């Protein structure tokens, strides 16, 4: 039985992997996973094909004996929040997050608002391959899809309630928002307005062909970043397609990776809000977090890359201050355990208001590393061979091997791992010296070529 779930849900190209036969079969497996009569909330982002996918899923779930509620267009964290707080038994989010526009995907959410864990994924996969389904009688199948148009408003109000609105509104902030022509446009500007912040929105119309690539990386945000100082904004916020990630741009137009933002937010939670706990993050995050947070007596827990694993680890431990990924996914447990671009935005504005400093000043307080992030197109099998070669090449350094291999030295770190969502080998390098970073990339290049050209 082959694996259906990647790092974050099931994904594929609409009309190629995501065809009616597959969608129906997968929805039947999900229907069998939940108990008959379970209340399931279904939402989607604005990707092409999502309306068709949603209709197939909703109809199939009804035939499986579930009660289906339609949230319409909504960010992933909004759907997750409402599943958790409004007594739903689960949810389905139709999105491919940061993937190219031709992709979509399906995320299965449990009653706690977190995507199902890896063991539960395996149960759904088993039902899929063994065709272990539940089809109810025609009388039970008479259920109708119930419209549930309250999701975005409930989510917005929750975020606003978690921060000091008065402190933020008194600063007269102006924030540029780039929601990548997707559902973040429905919530983040409204959050800002309720916080007394003036939003300036670019790429804000809903469009299946976004003006920029959906993944909020520095390469994809160059034009957006220029607009932040041009419009005299306090801050810039860039989302991915389903708005569970937020990459920050300071007032000078500098783009900051999510792990640097998260370190500042962790400091804010401890120093200004008096909160305590451990910090949970994936191995793709910078080792800067250990250097900075140990000064606050905050322990860092390293985990596999993937927000699902981080969220479940935090929930089970019950001692988390926060969790995050370097890609801009920040998780604040008092709100919810999952990554959430809206709460990231609100908390950082509260931090700015509390410290009375510019964003650039706050980021400049962190140690600076030269960063290289690249990827190689290859099968997972070849990627795993490269990982073994890297382990051997750097065998005398500190190695973390829970997801690919992370090499940690005194003046650099690097991570080499297979992607969980695409046929790629991902490579991340950070070094205090730019030349050292380039030399490390050359060493990885050599190892990749040895495998690919063998």
Rg of the chain (C-alpha set): 22
Provide the residue range defining the domain that includes 388: 370-452
Residues 198 and 91 in one domain: no
Same domain, 340 and 426: no
91: which strand partners? 41, 109
Is residue 353 located within the same domain as residue 251? yes
Burial of 371 (0-12, 13-18, 19+ CB in 10 A): middle
Of 119, 151, 183, the position where a domain reaches its end is 151
Same domain, 352 and 404: no
One domain for residues 128 and 253: no
My answer on whether 308 and 254 are in the same domain is: yes
Helix, strand and coil in the chain, % to nearest 5: 40, 25, 35
Domain end residue (candidates: 329, 364, 399): 364
Whose CA is closest to 188, among 217, 166, 156?
156
Indicate which CATH number applies to the domain containing 236: 3.40.120.10
- Let me know if residue 240 belongs to a domain: yes
Of the residues 97, 158, 286, 307, only one is catalytic, namely 97
Answer yes or no: is 387 within a domain.
yes
- Look-up of token digits 């996918």: 53
Q: What are the pLDDT digits (tens) for 359-393?
A: 999 999 998 889 899 999 999 999 999 999 999 99
Can 97 be counted among the known catalytic residues? yes
List the structure tokens of 248: 């920050």
Q: What's the pLDDT score for residue 450?
A: 95
Q: Are residues 227 and 335 in the same domain?
A: yes
pLDDT-derived band at 80, boundaries 50, 70, 90? very high
Residue 373 CA from chain centroid, whole number? 18
* Contacting residues for 451 by C-beta, under 8 A, at least 6 apart: 378, 382, 385, 386, 389
Q: What percent of the chain has pLDDT over 70?
A: 100
Residue 4 is assigned to a structural domain of this protein: no
pLDDT of residue 127: 97
Assess whether 327 and 402 both reside in one domain. no
Same domain, residue pair 302 and 320: yes
**Domain final residue pick, 151, 184, 215:** 151
The predicted structure's pLDDT at residue 424 = 94
Q: Is residue 156 part of a domain?
A: no
HEC assignment per residue over 348-360: HHHHHHHHCCCHH
One domain for residues 146 and 175: no
Q: Is residue 252 part of a domain?
A: yes
Q: Could you read off the pLDDT of 92-118 as tens digits, one per residue? A: 999 999 999 999 999 999 999 999 999
Do the Cβ atoms of 284 and 305 come closer than 8 Å? yes
Same domain, 187 and 315: yes
CB distance 104 to 53 below 8 Å: yes
pLDDT, tens digit, for every residue of 10-65? Answer: 999 999 999 999 999 999 999 999 999 999 999 999 999 999 999 999 999 999 99
159 belongs to a structural domain: no
Element (H, E) at 237: strand 235-239
Question: What CA–CA distance (Å, rounded) separates 236 from 69?
Answer: 34
Same domain, 122 and 76: yes
Q: What is the CATH number of the domain that holds 407?
A: 3.30.310.50
What pLDDT was estimated at residue 1? 57
Look at residue 1 and tell me if it is in a domain: no
SS3 call for 441: helix
Query: For the chain, how many structural domains are there in total?
Result: 3
Q: What is the pLDDT of residues 277-301, one digit of tens each?
A: 999 999 888 888 888 998 999 999 9
**Nearest-angstrom CA–CA distance, 434 and 124:** 46
Tokens of 188: 């983040």
């Amino acid at each position: 039985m082959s694996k259906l779930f990647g790092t974050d849900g099931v994904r594929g190209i609409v009309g190629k992997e995501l065809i009616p036969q597959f969608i129906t079969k997968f929805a039947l497996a999900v229907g069998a996973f939940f108990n008959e009569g379970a209340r399931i909330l279904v939402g989607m982002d604005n990707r092409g094909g999502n309306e068709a996918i949603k209709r197939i899923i909703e109809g199939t779930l009804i035939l499986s004996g579930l009660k289906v509620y339609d949230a319409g267009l909504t960010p992933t964290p909004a759907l997750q929040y409402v599943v958790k707080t409004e007594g739903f038994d689960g949810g389905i989010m139709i999105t491919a997050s940061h993937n190219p526009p031709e992709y979509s995907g399906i995320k299965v959410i449990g009653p706690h608002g977190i995507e199902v864990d890896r063991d539960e994924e395996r149960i759904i996969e088993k039902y899929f391959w063994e065709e272990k389904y539940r089809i109810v009688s025609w009388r039970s199948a008479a259920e109708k899809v119930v419209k549930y148009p309250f999701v975005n408003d409930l989510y917005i109000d929750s975020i606003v309630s978690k921060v000091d609105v008065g402190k933020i509104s008194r600063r007269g902030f102006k924030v540029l928002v780039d929601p990548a022509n997707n559902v973040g446009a429905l919530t983040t500007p409204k959050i800002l307005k309720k916080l007394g912040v003036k939003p300036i929105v670019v790429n804000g119309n809903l469009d299946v062909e976004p003006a920029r690539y959906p993944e909020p990386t520095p390469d994809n945000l160059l034009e957006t970043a220029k607009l932040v100082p041009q419009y005299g904004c306090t801050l810039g916020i860039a989302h991915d397609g389903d708005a569970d990630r937020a990459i920050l741009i300071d007032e000078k137009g500098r783009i900051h990776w999510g792990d640097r933002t998260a370190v500042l937010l962790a400091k804010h939670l401890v120093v200004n809000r008096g909160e305590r706990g451990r910090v949970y993050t994936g191995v793709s995050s910078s080792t800067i977090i250990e250097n900075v947070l140990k000064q606050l007596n905050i322990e860092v827990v390293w985990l596999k890359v993937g927000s699902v694993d981080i969220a479940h680890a935090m929930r089970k431990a019950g001692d988390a201050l926060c969790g995050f990924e370097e890609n801009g996914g920040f998780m604040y447990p008092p709100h919810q355990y999952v990554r959430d671009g809206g709460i990231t935005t609100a908390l950082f504005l509260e931090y700015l208001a509390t410290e009375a400093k510019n964003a650039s000043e706050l980021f400049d307080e962190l140690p600076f590393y030269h960063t290289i992030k690249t990827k190689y197109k290859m099968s997972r099998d070849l990627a795993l061979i490269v990982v073994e070669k890297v382990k051997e090449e750097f065998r005398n350094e500190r190695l973390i091997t829970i997801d690919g291999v992370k090499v940690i030295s005194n003046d650099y770190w690097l991570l080499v791992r297979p992607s969980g969502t695409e046929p790629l080998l991902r490579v991340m390098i950070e070094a205090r010296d730019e030349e050292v970073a380039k030399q490390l990339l050359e060493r990885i290049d050599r190892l990749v070529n040895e495998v690919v050209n063998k």
